[in-house]
Each structure stands twice: as C-alpha cells, then as structure tokens.
Amino acid sequence: MSDAGNGHKLWGGRFAGGPAPELEAVNRSITVDIRLWPHDVRLSQAWARGLVTAGVYDRAECDAVVAGLERVAARLGAGEQPIAADEDIHTMIDRLLHLEAGTPAGRLHTGRSRNDQVATATRLWTLAAIDRIDGLVRRLQETMLAQAEALQDAVMPAYTHLQRAQPVSAAHWMLSHGWPLVRDRARLADARRRVAVLPLGSGAIAGSAFPIPREQLAADLGFLAISPNSIDAVGDRDFVAEVLFVLTTLGMHLSRLAEDLILYGSSEFGFVRFGDAFSTGSSMMPQKRNPDALELARGAGARVLGDLVALLATIKGLPSGYNKDLQEDKRTLFDAVDGLELLLPAVAGSVATLTFQRERMAAACSSAMMATDLADYLVRKRVTFRESHGAVGRLVREAEEAGVEMTALPFSSFAAAHPAFEEDVLEELQATTSLRHRDIAGGTGPVAVAAQIEAMRTAIASPSGG
Ligand code: ARG
C-alpha cells in the first residue's frame, strides 16, 4: 500500500473496494483524538524498545523508529494537519512515521492493535489530565484558605432550608466549600492508581503473540501495574467513568459554591460584592454587575454530569472486548476535562476578588437566630432541653408579634417565660457569644476555626489532597 496521498490505511487488504464515504465520515475520530498524539508517540517509542527484547527489531531499527517518532512529534507539535485518509491519530502517526523512518516503520505495529494502543494512549492522557486538574483545584483551595483566614472574625447567618438558622464565622462557611474539594482531590488521587494500569501488550483481545516485556513497558511509561486480562483490558473504560464521576462531583461542588455566592451577591443578601474583573455588565441595564463565571460554573456542572451519563450508557450494553462504541469515550472525557480546566481558574478568580460586606453579614444575624443559645442557657441551669425549647419558643413568638428583636424585649418577658432566666441572658443574644460556645472540634467557635484553618492548610499540601 502506498504512503502517498490517501492510500495509507492500517487495514483494508481483505476488502475488494474501499469504504463508502459515509462510513469514512462516521468512523473518523481524528478531529477528537488528535490530541492524544504526544502519548501515542511516547507509547510507540516504548513499544519499539519492547520489540527489541521480543527479537523483532535490532537496535539500529529501533533507534531509527524512535528517532523517526521524535520527528513525527515535532511535526505534530508544529501543527501538522491530518489528511482526509487519517482515520484516527494512530493512523496519522503511522503514516507520518513511514515518511520519516521508511521500512522499519512497517514493523512497529507487530503484536499490537489499536485496541490496546488507544486504551493505553487514553490512560496516559487521563493521567496528565488528573495532574492538571489536581493543580487547579489546589489553587482554588488556596484562594479559599486565604479568604477564610481573613474572615475569621466576621459573622454571618448559616442557613438550613435557606432560612436563617444560626450564626457562624464567615471563615467556617468559606471552609465548608473547601473540604468537599479536599475529598475530590483524594478521589482523584485514588482513581489515578486505577488509571495507571497498562493495557499495552493485550493486542486486539487475546494478548500479543510476541514476548514483549510488559513490566518494562509499564515502568517506561509511568504505569504502576499491568492489566491482568487482555479481554478486560481492551474493553475496560471504568477508568474514564471513574474520572468522570470524580469530575462530576467536583463540578457539583463548584456549582453549589457558585449558587451560594450568586445568592450572597444579590442585593437582597448583599453579603459579597463581585470583583470588577469577574463581573459582567448588561447591554441594557447600566447598573448590573453579573456573576457570569459563577453562573457558568453552576451550568457546567450539568454538562459534566451529562458526559458521565453518556459514557455509562455507552458501556452498559457492550459485549466484552473492544467495540467501536468505545471511541465515544474520548469525546466525553475531553469535554469534561476541558470544561473544568476553563472553570476552575474562573471560579478561583471570582473567589479571590470577592469583597465581603461584614456589616451586612453581621446585621443579618437577627436575635431569633440565637434561640437555640437561649435554650442552651437554660439547659446549663439544669432545665431540661424540652422545657427550655418551649419557653424560648414563647419568647420568639412574643418578639415576632411585637415586631421587635428579642433583644428589645424587657427582662420581665424573659422572667415570665422561665424563672431560670437571669439578667445576664442578654449576653446570650449576641452572635459572637453563640460562636464562642462552639469551640467543639469541627464547630464554628474561634479556636475551632483556627484549628480548622491549619488542618485545611495541611490537607491542601498533602499530595493526595486529603
Ligand atoms: N479510533 C479508535 C478509538 O478511538 C481506535 C481503536 C480502533 N480499533 C479498531 N479495532 N477499529 O477507539
């Protein structure tokens, strides 16, 4: 088969005629998989070295192919475009290698199939993507940590059912969005170990018929283990599904952070002001300051979830071994990774440039939010929680009916609600008092939050993010 023009195919000898243009169009994946090229080149170089051990190449042939692949990489790096007949990146690299290295190139595919090749290249790409995403999540965590450190003495309402519940340190709220990212990074690190399993040497499905040293290939390419079953190895895309799940969860966390910030940035809350560099205006309403990056983060969570669902649905009904449906794996994986690589820096920038309106946050801590503290006050005076809950409930209703804060009620109201109330009860209606009572580990008390900040710093610095 000639290498010039459209003639270079990795298959076709058994057919009398060429494929229909409609088949070629639907089969062609190079627009998606061209970005696998650095990994495909690397694994091909490792394969060439393995072919020496297997007795297929002599040293000189192997050197010629490895150097030829280096020149292919240079061409691809310089933007070499595929020709119409390049079905996928593996075909394109093989064609270019024939141009660069001549005859020895024709032996490179010995004992190898695109089935184990694409699984290997996709795993290598995924390993690199995991490391990039991990770095971006870490940068976002560092931004959150810096904000949390500055917010330790700011109080704000914490919400349940989106109703004001209890006062918390604003640092505690900020860190509540940092811990999910610690878990995401731990999940990413855990998934990484399962991605780093080498399929190469599995051939099309039954294993290579040439004694390629697979352990050496694995070490050469940075894999931690070799796949134990060739049928499983070529049809397994669990690693893509697993990474997509981790990314979906990460996307969901970014979405929830974004939702909090979008709410808190509204005039109704007024807790935060979005930085100029991360706000957009309206073409009609001059006063608008819109948090587009955060809204896109919320929206993108749905897209990554779609990628995960699409992949799981693709895999679910497949018979064992490689099936062409699996070509779709890269579309979902690349889409999710691309999306998060765009979003994570935008979310980090949005968080870094927030201004917190401390007075608004403190003013939102209305005295009714200290109702639990009042009940706890009575409990400390040996009243049962059930009885104190009822007494405080009556006070809350009295303030509500009078349309005043509980702090504005006369002491006689407290005394009437329960005889155990003493004059010092007003102190319990301060948000800062409420916080001070909560220095339990994991709570919002100032000492606990300071410890939490240190724990977060340690977690961020740990290589597995947790
Ligand atoms: N482009 C294919 C993919 O991405 C490569 C593997 C093709 N293998 C095959 N037997 N047709 O999955």
Over the stretch 33-81, which tens digit does the pLDDT of each residue have?
999 999 999 999 999 999 999 999 999 999 999 999 999 999 999 999 9
CB atoms within 10 A of CB 200: 30
Catalytic residue of the set 39, 90, 109, 161: 161
Q: Is 418 a catalytic residue?
A: no
Residue pLDDT, tens place only, 338-377 = 999 999 999 999 999 999 999 999 999 999 999 999 999 9
User: If 0-12 CB within 10 Å is exposed, 13-18 middle and 19+ buried, where does residue 112 land?
Assistant: buried
What are the backbone dihedrals phi and psi of residue 224, each rounded to the nearest 5 degrees, phi first? -95, -20
pLDDT at 361: 98
pLDDT at 466: 62
Rounded average pLDDT over 142-152? 98
Average pLDDT in the chain: 95
What's the rounded Cα separation, in Å, for the pair 421 and 419? 5
- The answer, yes or no, to whether any atom of ligand 1 lies below 6 A from the CB of 329, is no
Beta strands in 17-90, from DSSP E residues, in sequence order: none
User: Per-residue pLDDT for 3 more than 50?
Assistant: no
Judge contact between 152 and 446, C-beta under 8 A.
yes
Highest mean pLDDT among 132-146, 271-285, 288-302: 132-146
Rounded average pLDDT over 309-326? 97
Residue pLDDT, tens place only, 414-453 = 999 999 999 999 999 999 999 999 999 999 999 999 999 9
User: Per-residue pLDDT for 264 more than 60?
Assistant: yes
Query: Which one, of 292, 328, 290, 327, lies nearest residue 309 by Cα?
Result: 328
Question: Please, which pLDDT band fits residue 329 given cuts at 50, 70 and 90?
Answer: very high
Query: Which one, of 241, 219, 213, 211, lies nearest residue 305 by Cα?
Result: 241
Residues contacting 382, CB < 8 A, separation 6+: 420
24 C-alpha vs ligand 1 centroid, how far in Å? 13
Judge contact between 280 and 270, C-beta under 8 A.
no
In 3-state terms, what secondary structure has residue 354? Answer: coil
> What atom in ligand 1 is closest to the CA of residue 11?
11
Residue pLDDT, tens place only, 223-249 = 999 999 999 999 999 999 999 999 999
What's the rounded Cα separation, in Å, for the pair 266 and 354? 13
User: Per-residue pLDDT for 1 more than 80?
Assistant: no
More confident residue, 3 or 93: 93
pLDDT at 204: 97
Residues contacting 345, CB < 8 A, separation 6+: 136, 139
Probe residue for ligand 1, chosen from 27, 36, 37, 88 as the CB with the greatest number of ligand atoms within 8 Å: 88
User: Per-residue pLDDT for 191 more than 90?
Assistant: yes
255 C-alpha vs ligand 1 centroid, how far in Å? 35
Query: Which one, of 136, 24, 134, lies nearest residue 88 by Cα?
Result: 24
- The answer, yes or no, to whether any atom of ligand 1 lies below 6 A from the CB of 88, is yes
Q: Is 279 a catalytic residue?
A: no
Judge contact between 210 and 56, C-beta under 8 A.
yes
Residues contacting 258, CB < 8 A, separation 6+: 291, 294, 295, 297, 298, 347
pLDDT at 14: 84
Distances (CA, A) of 197 to 48, 215, 234, 300, 320: 19, 11, 12, 30, 19
Percent helix, strand and coil across the chain, each to the nearest 5: 65, 5, 30
